[in-house]
Amino acid sequence: MQQNEEDYLKTLKDRLTGYVSREDLDDILSDYAEHFSIGISEGRSEDELCQALGSPDGVAREIRASYLVKRAEQSCGARNIWSAVMATLGLGLFNLAVVLIPFVILIALLTLIFVAGMLLIILGPILLLVSILHLLGVAVAMPWPIPPAGIVKSLVLSVVGVFLIVAALGLGKFFYRVGIRYLKWNIRIIRGGEGPNRDEEPCLSTAAIPRDGAENLELQVQLRAGDMSVRDGTSDKNLVELATHGTACARPSVSASADGKGKRIRIRGRHTIDRCWWSDESSPAMEIRITRDVPTALEVTNKAGRTTLSLGKLNLTGLRIRNGAGETYIDLAGYAGPGFGAEIRNGVGHMVIRVPKEYQLRIHVHRGIGDTDVHGLLVEGDTYVTRPERSDAPQITLFVKQGVGSLSLKAV
């Protein structure tokens, strides 16, 4: 039987409707539609593509199964606090003391404060009314010995009531948040699970610095500890984009100043690892993307952590890299700009540098302990060079200081 795309997608849709969310369904169908459109553009027939994909029933069954697993995982990833308590309880007797008792005591305390507040809020005005009536000469039982002072006292009671309610709500919110985090941590410890929690990324923050007609860029990036990656590729209107996530919960500080047609940007990650003891994220990470079009002088400092710099597609005019401890990858392959000078210092850790061989390269290496592995470069004293075919090829000069750890230089 001949099959076609339309029938295939329709069957898939029928078999999935009701099992997966509207959004996911659209997403899944668009994946397969893309598959068909590319396949057809490469000259395969719809029937052939359907055959290769396998029966839509089978595919739908697979998707439904993985969807169920995902839902089950999410529900034990603490959607709400109660199901989290139950889930945690189910995980071990240990938690009876660790989670349930503090949880119940906390709820009782908060309820007590709330109830006291409510009582005062109700009682205050009643006492106030009674005091006023008494003053006016109405014969009622007087709660306070002196009526005018009674009015003041009643008012104070009402205000205290309002304060208590506000405090109870605030505390409730705070403990709710701490509680959720604590429960998640608990579940992870008991399950022996690993990895960050998937249903949220609590410390993700992003920022973009618009281009605003800048004709050159001086970018300084500093990270105290964590993984840093710098590469090309921003949306057209942005000069620099950054995203950070991880333990720190601290947003990086970004300062930008313009000087004529040039722009100076400083990005400092204020990550410290001890900041959030309850955090469930892995090590902090910062990802920076830079536009390909604007000439850029880049300065990167990372005290500790892995530094990955894919700079080959940037229009670099200068480069300074300082890495304290950690692996450093610097990829300049594919660079097509006017040439530049660079200073690269690494303390402890392996370092890999890839450079474009069409350029006249001069790489001065000063190094401590570790192997040096060189590909595609000639040795001239303590300098590695290339002799490109074009004698007028632009120059790149690197000053490399590597402390402890292997160094790999490759001209590609």
Binding site for other proteins (CB under 8 A): 28, 30-32, 34-35, 37-39, 41, 52-56, 58-59, 62-63, 66, 70, 195-196, 198, 227, 282, 285
CA distance 159 to 153: 10
* Closer residue to other proteins (CB): 137 or 192: 192
* Closer residue to other proteins (CB): 35 or 153: 35
> In the complex, what is the shortest distance from the CB of residue 359 to other proteins, in angstroms, rounded to a whole number?
24
* Closer residue to other proteins (CB): 63 or 411: 63
> In the complex, what is the shortest distance from the CB of residue 198 to other proteins, in angstroms, rounded to a whole number?
6
> In the complex, what is the shortest distance from the CB of residue 5 to other proteins, in angstroms, rounded to a whole number?
13
> In the complex, what is the shortest distance from the CB of residue 74 to other proteins, in angstroms, rounded to a whole number?
9
234 φ, ψ (degrees, to nearest 5): -130, 170
CA distance 312 to 334: 5
* Closer residue to other proteins (CB): 47 or 343: 47
* Closer residue to other proteins (CB): 217 or 225: 225
CA distance 123 to 280: 45
> In the complex, what is the shortest distance from the CB of residue 411 to other proteins, in angstroms, rounded to a whole number?
21
* Closer residue to other proteins (CB): 334 or 394: 334
CA distance 337 to 57: 53
CA distance 253 to 335: 30
> In the complex, what is the shortest distance from the CB of residue 54 to other proteins, in angstroms, rounded to a whole number?
3
* Closer residue to other proteins (CB): 76 or 132: 76
> In the complex, what is the shortest distance from the CB of residue 324 to other proteins, in angstroms, rounded to a whole number?
20
* Closer residue to other proteins (CB): 2 or 41: 41
> In the complex, what is the shortest distance from the CB of residue 338 to other proteins, in angstroms, rounded to a whole number?
28
CA distance 384 to 409: 9
* Closer residue to other proteins (CB): 58 or 368: 58
Q: Which two tokens stand for residue 318?
A: 């200068």
CA distance 32 to 54: 12
> In the complex, what is the shortest distance from the CB of residue 1 to other proteins, in angstroms, rounded to a whole number?
17
